Amino acid sequence: MDINMTTEIVIGIILISAALALLLAVLFWSRFIIRFIQKHDLHSPREILKKLHERR
């Protein structure tokens, strides 16, 4: 194994790890948003933004 192949493997592992972390973050936030919408019985984007603003 030469240095180029090792470097490519390391970069590949880093990119795959970053992609997996991004996927998990998106899944977490989408589940949070869906639960929030269902819990407060919201129907329009305006209602959702208004309720989010009230929470803060």
DSSP per-residue codes, 7-28: HHHHHHHHHHHHHHHHHHHHHH
* Domain-embedded: residue 52: yes
Task: Fill in the amino acid letter for 10.
Answer: V
* Domain-embedded: residue 2: no
Q: Which residue has the tokens 């991004």?
A: 22
Give the span between the Cα atoms of 26 and 11, in whole angstroms: 23
* Domain-embedded: residue 1: no
Summarised one tens digit per residue, pLDDT across range 32-48 is 889 989 998 989 989 98
48 with 42: CB under 8 angstroms? Answer: yes
This model's pTM is above 0.75:
no
Number of domains within the chain: 1
Per-residue pLDDT at 1: 61
* Domain-embedded: residue 37: yes
* Domain-embedded: residue 42: yes
Domain that holds residue 46: 24-56
